[in-house]
Structure 1
Amino acid sequence: MIKKNQTLILILFMLGIFMGAIDTGIVSPVRGLIQNSFKVDQNIGTWMITLYTLIYAISMPIVSKLGDKYGYKKAYVFGIATFGIGSLLCGISNFYGTFGFFLTARAIQALGAGGIMPIANAVIGNSFPEEKRGSALGLVGMIYGVGNILGPTLGSSIIDMAGSSNWGWVFFINVPISLIILILSTSLKNTKASTERPMDILGAIVLGGVIGSLMYALTNLDFFNFTESIKSTDVYPYLIIFVLLTPLLISIENRAKDPVLNVKYFKNKEMLVILIISFIVGIGMMGMIFVPQFSENVLRLKSGSGGYLITLLALFSGISAPISGKLIDKKSARFVLLLGFTFTICGTLFLGLIATESLTFISIFIGLALMGLGVGFTMGAPLNYLVLKTVSKEESASGLATMSLMRSIGLAISPSVMIGFIVEASKTLQTKLMDAVQSSLGATTSGMPINPTNTNTDVFKSLQNADITTIVDMLKAALESILPSQIKPMIINAIDSVSNTIIDTFQSVINYGYRNMFIAAAIIALAGLIATLFLNRKCEKPKVS
């Protein structure tokens, strides 16, 4: 059955993968619009991302195990239908709902999304003979990588067409795609992967608690202020819950006849290395999110316009992903991962060390091209291929879900790590801006200091939201509210004459943060490359039982 319908299977499941991939980033450009429409502050508004991430991570291994047990078609149809309903409700909440209704819809959407990716990868991977499996998974990697990267750009484009007050169309776009997939899926037969063993319900419940507590704690942990951050009630209670539940989960899963999470994965050397690499890839992926803001700062572009440069990442990722599949078939998944991490290291170092100094489009283009090639080689095909080669066919979906879960945990850690470099650099912004203005206007002010003694005043917090095109006006507004009256008119009128100095200083400070962030991303990629060296060179199939 499967061999005769390979084209239909590819179309059917890659549509779902693309839909799920774009949704991870499509919400980013409209997050502020959604917050404002419901009149909630930023701390409450972040739950639209946090809740989705938590439910998605929890649902992946559970829905995937249901797929292994009751059939992949049933699990996939459940995932698509649930995702479509959640998307519809999210869109409706734009016009008729409350923020609580919207969050409930997001939770439904995330529950469905958790059953799409692992199931699709398992079916596609097992539908092709081993000599063609890499090529098929390479196409999957291309769709996933391009969709993931283009999500924010697509979100911005939809808002441009529909209008900022109609953000619900960002979610409505998923509804027709879901319907097409559901219609196409009627021609597929349901295939069961495992024997009739009782569902591990207790394990699923405890696993949900373990994943949820860990992900929530990591989401709120500030790695650059670790000592104080870990004392927060949003962090340490959940880490305690994670620590208490983990041994309980191990005990339950060791006794279960058909565990929802096979702890033996972590005892098998090959599978453990795959999971570690997945975790590293998850951390490194977040560096892509900051490309638009980085490009805007380097090229002095208006805020929001840098998002279109992310298409360069998508373009080169789309080139390398299918190539990675063919290289897997001809060489090995290990070779492709080494190649991918090498490209990523070169790309991130080029952006951090060259682009931040040369300040040219060509330097950003080269860096993003290298980085995009690296993403295409590492994100999809090789890890999926290795999991399918390592675990038994009966556990394909749950094995892939475990790998995706580790990547999601890396994604949860990454924002706190990556944004920390920008925040740390920004701490010197006020002082350096004041010093630059004082130096440039020294003669004008007759030696009078314009850097007030109350440098910790809240008015300077507004500079945290400045970009390279607004920093001059925002600095003028901040100074106007705190300068002594005898020098205020003189300084405010003179600021425009030193605007280039202000912009240069702002650019230099923020670029220093990006420089360190991309160097850190290169180090993370290096860790991935080193971990890859521990993979089985002969790609023999270890038994995980």
Structure 2
Amino acid sequence: MSQQTQSSNPMPAADAAQRRLVQVLFIGVFMAALDSAIVGPVLPALREAFGVDNRTAGLLTTVFSLSSLCSTALMAYFSDRHGRRPVYLASVALFAIGSLCIAAAPDFDLLLVGRAIQGIGAGGIAPVASAVIGDVFTAERRGRILGLIGATHGMAFVLGPPLATVLTSTLGWRWLFLVNLPVALVVLWLGARSLPRQHSVAAPGPIDLAGITVTLLFLLCLVMGISRLPDSATGMLLWPWFLAASGVLLAALVVIEKRQAQPLIPMDLFANRQLAFAYVLTLGVGFSMGGIVFLTSIATLAYGISVEYAGLSLLPLVLCSMVGSMAAGRMLNRLGARNMVVFGFGLLTLGYLQSAVPQTGFTAFLVASVLIGIGLGVVVSGALRTIAIDEAPPALRGTAQGLINIFNAVGTLLAVTCISAIADLDGGELTGFGHAYLGLGLSMLLMLLMAFGLKKKLAESTSPTSVGT
């Protein structure tokens, strides 16, 4: 009897440790995602509190996006060199410090500083969490956990706006950021107990300072070039120079990184055909996410929905995205990453092509929203992250996951820029959005065709480390 009890004890203990680890990763990613979802609803209160116009208030989003995009590569790089645990905890701590700065900001400039610090922290949370999942969990469990992590953005966009409305109208907008502090403390406390202390990485060599510098400059020029594209006369004058500079810096980055012993962005990752396909498809995932932004414009222009209630038209999409992500995570091992990606982009193609024809009526619009929601949930559920985990060397999993985030963010920014530019060229009315979403649907069709280039069955990855080692 005692022997039977002893043999049965380790497994429940391991399961409990893994459950705590999933909780730490989920809460951290959800905290960062929720903060992105509440900024939009709180912008009117911020404009009133600091006396700024819409364009200035929009800097909150730009600064956060740019700082998080730049920090992603850095945090992933350091997690490969020095371990997931310290980098994940440092990212959560930075996010909390940024939240405190925002809540205590006496003027708009310090608000921007806090938002930048938040972005630096947020840039490390998701990719390092995904790398931890690759290190610790078996292939059979990864899909379900990645699907749960992928569903956090849908959950955040369901809970974020009503939470922002309640807290802003009762306690004030500063409490939206103060609530991050106890949540971050819980993550830090649980993370210190449950995150793995070691993982197999190569002995750290010299830091790739040249690669870091050129990467940050490249991302800065790329983001500025893309974001200035649909701007006024000033933007039209500046964007070609920013994009040209980003092209030169990208070429320089390739040359520099090929000469580094431990580069920030190893070029060998792109030599892997499956990883290269995964990164291009991730760009398409970001493009599909950016396409959601203007669906409310179609709802108001085509169906007479008031601006105040336009956000409710996206509720079926968001709910279907959550369900699709969690369901796809459960089916990932059985159906394979390739089949899931093909299915997801197939639904996105149908949904966005239907959105390009708003004359078919509001019911058809809702059907398109459901297709887009399920398709988006499937492609963000973890299939592409699983490919990156399986195909990248274990010592480069953090970097491989960081690149997933970077390509996703660039794709989202490109979509928002291109859709708004095409719509504005046609006068910003329904016809312009129809043309923009036709282009978006065709781009999803291109991603669908590319998805067939993925392998039907990915090789088994290296065995994971144990929790708490």
Residues 34 and 204 (structure 1), Cα distance of their counterparts in 2 relative to 1, 3 Å cut? same
Is 1:273 aligned to residue 273 of structure 2?
A: no
Is 1:521 aligned to residue 440 of structure 2?
A: yes
Is 1:44 aligned to residue 56 of structure 2?
A: yes
Q: Secondary structure at the match of 1:8?
A: helix
- Paired position in structure 1 for 2:251: 247
Amino acid at match of 1:9: L
Amino acid at match of 1:107: A
Amino acid at match of 2:346: T
- Paired position in structure 2 for 1:394: 395
Structure 1: stretches of 5+ with no match in the other structure = 428-509
Q: TM-score, normalised by structure 2?
A: 0.89
For 1:266 and 1:542, locate their aligned partners in 2 and report how far apart those are by CA, in whole Å. Answer: 18
For 1:165 and 1:239, locate their aligned partners in 2 and report how far apart those are by CA, in whole Å. Answer: 44
Is 1:332 aligned to residue 344 of structure 2?
A: no
Residues 526 and 398 (structure 1), Cα distance of their counterparts in 2 relative to 1, 3 Å cut? same
For 2:404 and 2:275, locate their aligned partners in 1 and report how far apart those are by CA, in whole Å. Answer: 9
Aligned residues: 448
For 1:162 and 1:46, locate their aligned partners in 2 and report how far apart those are by CA, in whole Å. Answer: 19
Is 1:137 aligned to residue 173 of structure 2?
A: no
The alpha-carbon deviation at position 109 of structure 1 amounts to 0.3
The alpha-carbon deviation at position 237 of structure 1 amounts to 3.6
The alpha-carbon deviation at position 377 of structure 1 amounts to 0.5
Is 1:177 aligned to residue 178 of structure 2?
A: no
For 1:3 and 1:33, locate their aligned partners in 2 and report how far apart those are by CA, in whole Å. Answer: 45
Is 1:34 aligned to residue 46 of structure 2?
A: yes
For 1:246 and 1:168, locate their aligned partners in 2 and report how far apart those are by CA, in whole Å. Answer: 40
8 Å CA contact 2:42–2:168 kept in 1: the answer is no
Q: Secondary structure at the match of 1:27?
A: helix
Is 1:201 aligned to residue 209 of structure 2?
A: yes
Residues 279 and 164 (structure 1), Cα distance of their counterparts in 2 relative to 1, 3 Å cut? farther
Residues 535 and 386 (structure 1), Cα distance of their counterparts in 2 relative to 1, 3 Å cut? same
The alpha-carbon deviation at position 391 of structure 1 amounts to 0.0
8 Å CA contact 1:125–1:137 kept in 2: the answer is no
8 Å CA contact 1:158–1:169 kept in 2: the answer is no
Is 1:213 aligned to residue 247 of structure 2?
A: no
The alpha-carbon deviation at position 541 of structure 1 amounts to 6.8
Q: Secondary structure at the match of 1:115?
A: helix
Is 1:292 aligned to residue 296 of structure 2?
A: yes
Q: Kindly provide the CA deviation profile for residues 342-370 of structure 1, in whole angstroms up to 9, marking residues without a partner as x.
A: 111222223332xx22443x333322111
8 Å CA contact 2:67–2:120 kept in 1: the answer is yes
- Paired position in structure 1 for 2:3: none
8 Å CA contact 1:270–1:542 kept in 2: the answer is no
For 1:542 and 1:183, locate their aligned partners in 2 and report how far apart those are by CA, in whole Å. Answer: 30
Q: Which has the higher contact order (CA 8 A, sep 6+)?
A: 2
Amino acid at match of 1:529: L
Amino acid at match of 1:120: A
Amino acid at match of 1:169: W
The alpha-carbon deviation at position 157 of structure 1 amounts to 4.2
Q: Secondary structure at the match of 1:304?
A: helix
Q: TM-score, normalised by structure 1?
A: 0.77
For 2:277 and 2:367, locate their aligned partners in 1 and report how far apart those are by CA, in whole Å. Answer: 31
Instruction: Give the structure with higher Rg (CA).
Output: 1
Q: Kindly provide the CA deviation profile for residues 481-508 of structure 1, in whole angstroms up to 9, marking residues without a partner as x.
A: xxxxxxxxxxxxxxxxxxxxxxxxxxxx
Q: Kindly provide the CA deviation profile for residues 358-391 of structure 1, in whole angstroms up to 9, marking residues without a partner as x.
A: 443x333322111110011012311111100110
Is 1:535 aligned to residue 447 of structure 2?
A: no
8 Å CA contact 1:64–1:115 kept in 2: the answer is yes
- Paired position in structure 2 for 1:346: 350
Residues 183 and 542 (structure 1), Cα distance of their counterparts in 2 relative to 1, 3 Å cut? closer
Structure 2: stretches of 5+ with no match in the other structure = 1-12, 463-469
For 2:25 and 2:163, locate their aligned partners in 1 and report how far apart those are by CA, in whole Å. Answer: 25
The alpha-carbon deviation at position 166 of structure 1 amounts to 2.9
What's the RMSD between the two structures over aligned residues? 2.4
The alpha-carbon deviation at position 253 of structure 1 amounts to 1.4
Q: 2:81 aligns with which of 50, 63, 69?
A: 69
For 2:204 and 2:193, locate their aligned partners in 1 and report how far apart those are by CA, in whole Å. Answer: 28
